[in-house]
Every structure is written in structure tokens, then in C-alpha cells.
Amino acid sequence: MPIYNFSAGPAVLPKEVLQQAAAEMSDWHGSGMSVMEMSHRGKEFMSILAAAQQDFIELFAVPSNYKLLFMQGGAIAENAIVPLNLMEHKGQPATIDYINTGFWSTKSLKEAKRYGNVNVAASSEPEQFSHIPARDSWQLSKDPAYVHICTNETIDGVEYQFTPDIAHETNHAPLVADMSSHILSRVVDVSKYGVIYGGAQKNIGPAGLTLVLVREDLLGHALPACPSAFNWKIVADNDSMYNTPPTYAIYIAGLVFRWIKKQGGVAALEQRNIAKAALLYEHLDSTDFYRTKTVSDCRSRMNVPFFLDDEALNEEFLVGAKDRGLLQLKGHKSVGGMRASIYNAMPVEGVQALVDYLKEFEKHRG
């Protein structure tokens, strides 16, 4: 029986990546060492790092005036690292604008309040985070240090289907985006953002690696209190080697980048992701036995929360799903219900198996 892992993260990885990592576990390319044993400054790991950096830059079409940083701490650490690096980039302390679209946006803006004045320029919290607030409803500051968005909310299942244009309204403040849960799942115009960051454990690799893209003019403005290991300029000047990087996570990420290239690149995966999401949403929309709360034009392609109309059946549903090899479908504790995370490595066969089970469960319990 095939097993399909719908975990929100750490999430499913491509099978061939896991197989290659297993084959190279004790001896990477005849070096006699596991990647976990290598010096991070030795020629073996340095070649792994360089290849991973270059492959990501090519896959994500990163412009030449951006620095790619491999860091640690996940997006939650970056919630503090972002304001520590950007609060004074215009030469004085400033207000920072946040768009609140779900659990992770809320967590991010609460952290930012430790470092400066936060203006919540728009929020869908009154509507239970069911949509992205319309761009013309945002009450942006005239000269904020930056404007922060979370472009895909894993728990609430909303995703930006547009790139906000904020430049003229905010005196060209940089747009900062947490893209943890959908980076490399769709084509992105990096030049529209000042900073893009994300934890790796959704579409890139294991937990422990954080990717940060920073436009070069935004480097060198960290607050004096910013720890050296979190100062983007110091990290950039040391090619992500200021402290020991998460070497094995970078190695796995590099394998995933190569796998994405074999699939035809990000544009090809985006088309697959559109098809997978449509397959699942179309069935959920076709019946009253299941329900979703997300407005259709804001639905996430990566994370699909849904609810049984009779929530007394939740546990029975999950037991039946597990018996059929459909794992980790329980929704986040903050919202309940179910959640199917269908990242890049989830094949369409897995989504079809879930749809088949949804139909079967409804037939017997509806």
C-alpha cells in the first residue's frame, strides 16, 4: 500500500532524494565521510554549499543585486531578525507595517513589537482569516521601515495570488515576505521584494535551514543590539559561514534543488501544484459533507484546511485515513478539522487517493 504524508512540516521529501541521501550516508562521493562528519570549511562541503547556492539562484531567478543567506532558527527567528536588520535602514527608527492574514502573521507582528512601533495596516482576523484583505483597504504608513506579509498561511490556508505594489504609497519601503510554506512552488518576481525568507521544512528540506534573500542596499543597517550571527551583512560578507551552518540540511536542500531541475523547474511544478489543488478543492466544493472557509480567490495551493460537517466523525475519519496510508491529516490545534498539505513532493496520485477516500467516507457515513 502506498503511503502519502500530508504533514504541514516537516513535510514529505522526494523519494529519490531520500534514496540518494541514504546511499551516500556513510560515504559521500568516495570521500570516506558522511556529510554530517565533514568540516564545514573543507573542500567537500564547500562544493556542496556552492552547488546548492547556485542551483537555488537559478531556480528562483534571483537578480544579481541580492544576497542569498543560509541561516538557522527558522521563520520564527527571522521574525526578530528582520526588524533587527531593517528598523533603521532609512536612518532613523520608524514604524513597521504588517498585514495580518493568519496565525503566522500574528506571531510575526507580535515579535516585531519588541523592536519598534507596529502598524497593522490590514487584517482579516475579524473574518477568521478567511481571505487576504483587498489591497485598496490597506492603511499603510507614509514612510515605514518595511511592509511585512506572509504570502502563504499554512494553518488558515490563504495564499497571496498577487504581489502587492506598495512603493509609491510608502516612500519606496521594502516589501518583506515570509514565504516559508510555498517557496519554490510557484514563479516569483524576486525584484518586487526587498527581503524574502523561509524555513526549509516545507518544499526544500529538513528543519534547521532558513533561506534569506536580501537586496544588497538593505544590508548594513542593523540595530546595535543585533547579534552578530543574525546580522545579515556579517552573514553575507562571510558567505553564510560566519558560524557553522546546518551542513546536512544544506546538503539535502541541494539534492532537492537538483530534483526540481529534473522536474522542469519551478514553472513546471507550479502547473502541477495548480492541478493538484484544483483536484482537491473541486471535490470539497461539490458536497455539503465537507466544508472549507477560505475565500476561493485566496485559497492556498499548498495547505488545504477542511472540516467535516459533523465534527463528531473527526476521529473516525482520521483512523480510516491512516488505515489507507493517508497520514497526518489532522488540522492544527488552533483551528481543528483537517488539513492536507500538498507540497511539491506530493504526487498527484496522493491527492487522488485522498479524494477517493473523501468520497468513500461520505458514502458510508453521510
Q: Looking at the annotation, which residues are catalytic?
A: 104, 178, 202
Buried b (16+ CB within 10 A) or exposed e, 46-59: eebbebbbebbbeb
Q: For the CA atoms of the chain, what is the radius of gyration?
A: 21
Q: What is the dihedral of CA 78, 131, 346, 71, to 10 degrees?
A: -10
Task: List CB contacts of 50: < 8 A, sequence separation 6 or more.
Answer: none
Instruction: Dump strand ranges (E) for 110-165.
Output: 118-123, 147-150, 152-153, 158-159
- Give the containing element (helix H, strand E) for 177: strand 175-178
d(C-alpha 123, C-alpha 102), whole Å: 9
Rounded CA separation 296/237 (Å): 44
Distance of alpha carbon 353 from the chain centroid = 25
Determine the residue type at 353.
A
CA distance 158 to 27: 42
Distance CA 40, CA 176 (A): 30
β-pair type (96-100, 118-123): parallel
